[in-house]
Structure 1
Amino acid sequence: MKIDDILKKCIEIPGISIKSSETSTELLFKSTSGKGSMTFYSLFPGFNLAYIFVNSPIWPAPDFHENGSNATGPLLFNYCVTGRCEIVLNNGNYVYLKDNDLSFTEHFAQSQYQYPRHIYEGLEFFIDLTTIANENTWLLREFGIDFHQIVKHYCPEESTYISPAPTEAETILKKLWELFDLPDPVAVTQMKIYSLALFSYLQNLDNLPPSQACTFFTETQVDIAKQVEKIITSDLRQHHPAWELAARFSVSETSLKNYFRGVYGQNISVYLREIRLKKAAELFASTKLSVSEVAEQVGYMNQSKFAAVFKKQYGQTPLEYRRSIHLKQG
């Protein structure tokens, strides 16, 4: 599937718009839940690189399964810089791409990309194997890069591959990531060079790290984790012990904690503390509530403990933080 066809279907989705320049095409997403951008660079025919920035729990995806169409698409290579991305495997189980992970797949998201931590930054290559084979024979001739061989290597029997990036690949990927801030003509040339180096390395990688797609969670387990997240964040003044939540879903406390950590990448207590402190920072910036009132709003009954935890997170006391925000706001 060509990238132009993908982009056309993307902008049919409410909330997604497109902006083009001489060297790139940018998809912009905005909804009540957040926003994001995907900036695409066409490096070679059928070979496209996207820089992804998302501050949202989801990014809606087109339906590529309609009219009996094949579920597979181009070869997709992802590298997570920061955040967490949910991937649904062919068998319906769930795995999670996290910081410094890379993945290969030929399968699109089912209906939307999901980001449990509401933030994601990363790189994604869209590789149209047919166009590559027809219009880029020089890649094989000059560099020995054979994308069909890469598919067999990483995605046998249409499987999904996930692994922490090997050190050499990580070095190249970080150089690619830094190019986004350079002027376009210079950046695009460098993107081409580093991309060829990356796929040459990945194709010839010996001792392939085992895929972490075997460490998965079922739909039921993921659903329990997401319901727990909704419960503990719906009213930050409330406290829900893990044993209480486990009893509600008829699972052991250990299982509940494992499900939550698997989906969100953090223990329940750490995740909730960050949510509470983020909400407190928002209240200090947007309201005139006192420190004790803000502390109570986010579930801290002890003002001194709240102030200490807040300072550890933001490097300032609550009052210092409020003053600094107001100074920036003018």
Structure 2
Amino acid sequence: MKIDDIIRKCIEIPGISIKRSDFSAELLMKAKEGKGAMTFFPLFPGLTIAYIFVNSPTWAAPNFCEDSSIEKGPLLLNYCVTGRCEIILNNENFVYVKDGEISLTERFAQKQYVYPRRIYEGMEFFVDTDTLTAESAWIQKEFGIDFHKIIELFCPNGNTYISTVAPEVEEILTKLWGLLDIAPPFSIFQMKVYVLALFSLLQSLNDIPPSQACTFFTETQVEIAKRVEKIITSDLRQHHPAWELAAQFSVSETSLKNYFRGVFGQNISIYLREMRMKKAADLLTTTKLSVATIAEKVGYMNQSKFASVFKKQFDMSPLEYRRHKTLDLQKNYRIREYPNI
């Protein structure tokens, strides 16, 4: 599957447009929920790198499932810089990739990519092995890089590989990430050098970190985690013990915690605490409610305990936070109303 075919499928999706330049093609996604950009740089026939920036809960995936004969796409290597991405692959596996992880797969996403934190930044490498063999055979001849061998090492039997990135691999990926700030064409030359170094290193790794099996979940397990999230955040005054939630879904407490951490990247207690503090901060900024009332609204009957947790989260007390936000609002108002003063 060629990269041009993938891009062509992408721009068929409502809300996605394309902007081309001499060195790149940029997909722009704009929807009611958010926006995103994916910039493709073709480096060699059959090998393309894309830089991804998303501020949205989802990004629709191109539909390759209508052609049931397509079971595998190009080799895709993803590197997550910031955020978390949820994908359901065409073999029905749910996959989660978070900060500092790489994934390699020949499978493609169904329906959409989901970003639980709304923010995602990363890189994706598209390797069309057929085109590489036909038009870029010199890469294997000159550099000894065999992409079929890389697939056998990381994705045997159609498996998907996900792991925390090895330090030596991360060093190259970090350099590649920084090249987006350098104007082409000089950056293109450097991208080519580092990409060849990256795949050469992947092929020659002596100790490949094991794939994280815990990253894979069934549709039912994902649904349980998402329903639990809705229950615990629908009324922050309520407290739901993990054992009680587990019993509600007829699973063990350990399994429930694993599902939740896998989908949302945090333990239930930490996730809920951050939601409570986020809501409290919003109430301190937008209302004149007392600190005691706000504490109660987010599930704290003990005001001192609430103040202690809040200060740990924001490095200031609730009243200090309110004063700080009030001063910011007043300053912004003066700048807006009296810009020349």
Q: Please give the TM-score of this superposition, normalised by the length of structure 2.
A: 0.86
Q: Which residue of 1 aligns with 2:134?
A: 134
Query: Which consecutive unaligned segments of at least 5 residues does structure 2 have?
Result: 336-341
| Mapping 1:76-91, distance limit 5 Å | 76-88=76-88
The one-letter code sitting in structure 2 at the alignment partner of 1:275 is M
Q: Is residue 113 of structure 1 aligned with residue 113 of structure 2?
A: yes
Contact 1:64 1:71 in 2 (8 A): no
Identity %: 64
Q: How many Å apart are 1:218 and its aligned residue?
A: 2.3
Between the aligned partners of 2:69 and 2:326, the Cα distance in structure 1 is 57
Q: Distance in 1 between matches of 2:280 and 2:134?
A: 56
Letter paired with 2:259: Y
1:11 is matched with: 11
For residues 22-68 of structure 1, give each alpha carbon's deviation from its aligned partner in whole angstroms, at most 9, with x where no partner exists: 32222222333333221211112221111112233321101101133
Q: What is the CA RMSD across the aligned residues, in angstroms? A: 2.5
CA contact (8 A) 1:39 1:50 kept: yes
Change (3 A) 1:233 1:24: farther
Q: Shift in Å at residue 186 of structure 1? A: 3.0
What is the distance in 2 between the residues matched to 1:65 and 1:48? 23
More off after superposition, 308-317 vs 250-259: 308-317
Aligned partners of 2:17 and 2:234: how far apart in 1? 31
For residues 130-157 of structure 1, what are the alpha-carbon distances to aligned partners after superposition, in whole Å with 9 as ceiling and x for unaligned? 2211221221122111212211222122
Question: Where does 1:179-328 land on structure 2 (aligned, <5 Å)?
Answer: 179-213=179-213, 216-282=216-282, 287-290=286-289, 292=291, 295=295, 298-316=298-316, 317-323=320-326, 325-326=328-329, 327=331
Q: TM-score, normalised by structure 1?
A: 0.89
- For the residues of structure 1 that align with 2:282 and 2:138, how far apart are their CA atoms? 54
Partner Cα distance (2:132, 2:234) in 1: 48
The alpha carbon displacement at 1:323 in A equals: 3.7
Residue-by-residue CA offset, 1:159-182 (whole Å, 9 max, x unaligned)? 111122111101111111122222
Q: Displacement of 1:251 after TM fit?
A: 2.2
Judged with a 3 Å threshold, the aligned counterparts in structure 2 of structure 1 residues 314 and 255 are, in CA distance, closer, same or farther, namely same
Highest CA radius of gyration, 1 or 2? 2
Q: Which residue of 2 aligns with 1:164?
A: 164
Matches within 5 A, 1:23-42: 23-42=23-42
Give the SS at the match of 2:261.
helix
Q: Matched residue of 1:210: which SS?
A: coil
Shift in alpha-carbon separation, 1:158–1:310, aligned structure 2, 3 A: same
Number of equivalences: 329
Q: Note the C-alpha offset of 1:279.
A: 3.9
Residue 123 of structure 1 aligns to which amino acid in structure 2?
Answer: M
Does the residue aligned with 1:81 lie in a helix, a strand or coil?
Answer: strand
Q: Which residue of 2 aligns with 1:176?
A: 176
Shift of 1:328: 5.4
